[in-house]
Structure formats: structure tokens, C-alpha cells
């Protein structure tokens, strides 16, 4: 998107390239990795009635999945499907990825509709793809492959196997591979089940409290999963009902405090575990400490995590339409203090250390915190931290 560059098309676009390199360099200086969202599942050329802009004019039958009479397979939902496992096409994809790593120094890629990259190419035959015949090879165009040549090539490439590879493990043709994407031990997956369950619970749908808690633990029923944080309509960072805001260069996609909040994961050792949390450090709660409610009608989930840096953190989600006063776990010599409360107006929803009125805001909670209680409004979440009780 060259329009994001201040240089525009000056110097044939080379200045824009240098700007992007500088962006990545400055991000790295601040400990921020840059992961590119890439779309190798379709192009803008549409279906068989679409325009001839690039690949169709070069070699239509090579770059697209075609039926015998020339119709376009549409596993992307955009009119055509890139013929990813054709030898020419997969080499093109690998060359593109290598360029962004070696020249632009990005740290990895998120592959849109990555399941398309596991489908057999049109004009499939094992000699064409693997170089050798395979007995009983009767695959038709678009058949899911157990060992897709493109995924194999990327996974074993000396440059690409060292970066982050994240698959959106489904496509619009019905192929759903969350938890079973062919990963060669190095791919991660876009956890669509996590997204769907979290949204169901947060909006107050009954029957999701237990599944939501499982998601919070990293989806151990599927794999080790660190969720990407980019909140939308759930609460706090509304997108006005738009679930696909890729083309908006405005405040719909801007979230500075949320990014600042992710720095808490660096400060809290317990939020960056390399394994699933166990009962040694994790305790579930309900409206009262130690009494979680996993019933189908439950819309409240809370937990505490022992943390070697912060001591302990308390996190709670009230997905009910009703407010509730919760009892907090007693910790002699310490008291709970709020860090995040999504029910509060900005900037008091995030009591960052540099908030000028932070102490005044905390004092407003004092009557409840003195009694080891906390008032939660409907459809809100909180994060509390332990601090020494000066009055103890």
C-alpha cells in the first residue's frame, strides 16, 4: 500500500521501500516484531469474466485452479483460486516470501485462507508436482493434501523456516483445519475456535463459561496457543459492527492504549508461560473466591495467577447484563488495586502508571477494596494487581 508512504511513488517507489525498511528497523529497536498479512489464495482478476491484469495474461491455466472447460474454482470466495501447489506458482510464492524476509527484514507472515495452500493444483499429477509417479494417485483439483508441496517447501526453506509462519487454517470452500493444519513442527495457526468461543461468551451467550476458560488457558484441547490481541466489537475498541476493517486508515484501526496494555505481558511472567498453566499457580473463582460456576447459565469467569514478578494478578469477566459485586481472594498484608476496568470511561479504563489522576481514581474504589470487594458492571472485564497494604 504505497499510499501509506510519505514518499509515494517518488523515485519509482524506491523511497517508499526505504521507508518501510526504516519502519521495521525502528520497530525492532523497540522490541516489536513485524508480521505481514499475505494473501496467496486469490487475485483481483476475479472469475472467468474478470479483467486481465497480470497472471491471467501470463498463463491462466498455471496460476489459477481451473475446471476442464476453463471455469474457475472458487475456494477463496473472491471468484478465483491461486493454483498454489503448481511448481511454478509455489516457487513464485516462496520467492516473494524470501524477498520480504531478506530485503525488508519482516519477522514472519500470517497466511490468509491458508488451507487453500494445502489443496491439490489443477492438472494435478504426481510427476508434475513431486517429480515421481505415485501408485494410486487419483487426486482431483482442490483435494486436500496430507503433505502439500508448497507447505513442505516453505517449512524446509533455510530462510523461511526461521521466521514466524501463521496459518488461517480454513477457506471458503469448507476446508477447516484448525488443530490439524500440516505444520512440519514450525507453523502456528490462527485459532478460529478461540475467536468464536470468546465472542460467544463475551456477548452473553449461555453455555460457554467452561469453553471460555479453556481458551484462556491456551486451548490445550487443540495445541500451546498465544492469542493475538486486536480487540474489536467485544468491548473497549469498537469497530462499529464492521468485522473486516482492512481498508480503514482511521481511528477504527488505531489502539494505542491496547498496545500499551500488551506490555503487561512482558511485565507479568505468568502471562507469557511456555506451557499450559496448572493448579500450582492458577485458581478459578466465581462471585466468591474459589467457587467457580461452570453451569450453562454462568456468565462470569474469574481467576488468579501466581506471578514471580507481580506476586499475583486477578482477572474477571462479567458477561451478564446485570452488575455484580464480587468478593476477592484474601491476601493478608496486601490489598487488590485496579489496573483495568473496561466499564470506566477513557482514560480511567486503564490506570497506567503515567495517568495524572491515577491515585484519585484508585481512592474512588477504596470503600469496596477495604472490604475486599469489587463492583463490576455488566459486560465488563477487570485486571487487579496486589500491592502492600499500608494499613495492615
Residues known to be catalytic: 112, 168
Query: Half-sphere exposure (CA, 13 Å, Cβ side) for 28?
Result: 11
CB neighbour class for 379 (10 Å; exposed up to 12, middle 13-18, buried from 19): buried
Compute how many other C-beta atoms are within 10 angstroms of the C-beta atom of residue 178.
Answer: 21
Phi/psi of residue 189, each to 5°?
-125, 145
Gyration radius from the chain CA atoms? 25
Compute how many other C-beta atoms are within 10 angstroms of the C-beta atom of residue 302.
Answer: 28
- Cβ-contact 189, 169 below 8 angstroms: yes
- Closest among 305, 236, 325, 295 to 264, alpha carbons compared: 305
Lookup: cell for 362: 484508585
User: What string of DSSP letters covers 214-242?
Assistant: HHHTT-TTT-S--------TTTTS--TT-
- Cβ-contact 333, 389 below 8 angstroms: yes
d(CA 302, CA 201): 13
Q: Across the chain, which distance is largest between two alpha carbons, in Å?
A: 81
**Residue 218 C-alpha from the chain's centroid:** 12
d(CA 227, CA 217): 10
d(CA 120, CA 344): 52
Amino acid at each position: 500500500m504505497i499510499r501509506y508512504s510519505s514518499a509515494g511513488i517518488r523515485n519509482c517507489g524506491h523511497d517508499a521501500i526505504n521507508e518501510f525498511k526504516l519502519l521495521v528497523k525502528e520497530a525492532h529497536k523497540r522490541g516489536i516484531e513485524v508480521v505481514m498479512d499475505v494473501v496467496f489464495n486469490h487475485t483481483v482478476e476475479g472469475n472467468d469474466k474478470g479483467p486481465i491484469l497480470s497472471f491471467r495474461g501470463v498463463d491462466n491455466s498455471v496460476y489459477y485452479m481451473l475446471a476442464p472447460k476453463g471455469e474457475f474454482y472458487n475456494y477463496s470466495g473472491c471468484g478465483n483460486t491461486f493454483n498454489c501447489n503448481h511448481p511454478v506458482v509455489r516457487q513464485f510464492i516462496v520467492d516473494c516470501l524470501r524477498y520480504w524476509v531478506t530485503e525488508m527484514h519482516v519477522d514472519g507472515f500470517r497466511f490468509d485462507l491458508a488451507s487453500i495452500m494445502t489443496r491439490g493444483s489443477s492438472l494435478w499429477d504426481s510427476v508434475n508436482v513431486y517429480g515421481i509417479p505415485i501408485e494410486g494417485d487419483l487426486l482431483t483439483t482442490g483435494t486436500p493434501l496430507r503433505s502439500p508441496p508448497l507447505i513442505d517447501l516453505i517449512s524446509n526453506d533455510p530462510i523461511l523456516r526461521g521466521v514466524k509462519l501463521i496459518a488461517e487454517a480454513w477457506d471458503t470452500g469448507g476446508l477447516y483445519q484448525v488443530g490439524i493444519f500440516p505444520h512440519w513442527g514450525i507453523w502456528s495457526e490462527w485459532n478460529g475456535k478461540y475467536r468464536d468461543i470468546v465472542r460467544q461468551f463475551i456477548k452473553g451467550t449461555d453455555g460457554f463459561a467452561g469453553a471460555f476458560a479453556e481458551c484462556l488457558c491456551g486451548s490445550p484441547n487443540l495445541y500451546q496457543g498465544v492469542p493475538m490481541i486486536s480487540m474489536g466489537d467485544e468491548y473497549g475498541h469498537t469497530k462499529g459492527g464492521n468485522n473486516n476493517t482492512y481498508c480503514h486508515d482511521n481511528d477504527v484501526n488505531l489502539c494505542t492504549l491496547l498496545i500499551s496494555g500488551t506490555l503487561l505481558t512482558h511485565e507479568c511472567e505468568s502471562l507469557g508461560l511456555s506451557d499450559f498453566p496448572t493448579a500450582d499457580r492458577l485458581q478459578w473463582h466465581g462471585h466468591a473466591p474459589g467457587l467457580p460456576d461452570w453451569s450453562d447459565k454462568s456468565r462470569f469467569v474469574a481467576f488468579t495467577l501466581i506471578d514471580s514478578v507481580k506476586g499475583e494478578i486477578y482477572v474477571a469477566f462479567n458477561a451478564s447484563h446485570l452488575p455484580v459485586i464480587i468478593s476477592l481472594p484474601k491476601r493478608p498484608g496486601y490489598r487488590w488495586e485496579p489496573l483495568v476496568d473496561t466499564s470506566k470511561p477513557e482514560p480511567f479504563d486503564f490506570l497506567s502508571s503515567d495517568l495524572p489522576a491515577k491515585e484519585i481514581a484508585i481512592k474512588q474504589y477504596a470503600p469496596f477494596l477495604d472490604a475486599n470487594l469489587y463492583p463490576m458492571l455488566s459486560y465488563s472485564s477487570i485486571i487487579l494487581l496486589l500491592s502492600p497494604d499500608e494499613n495492615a
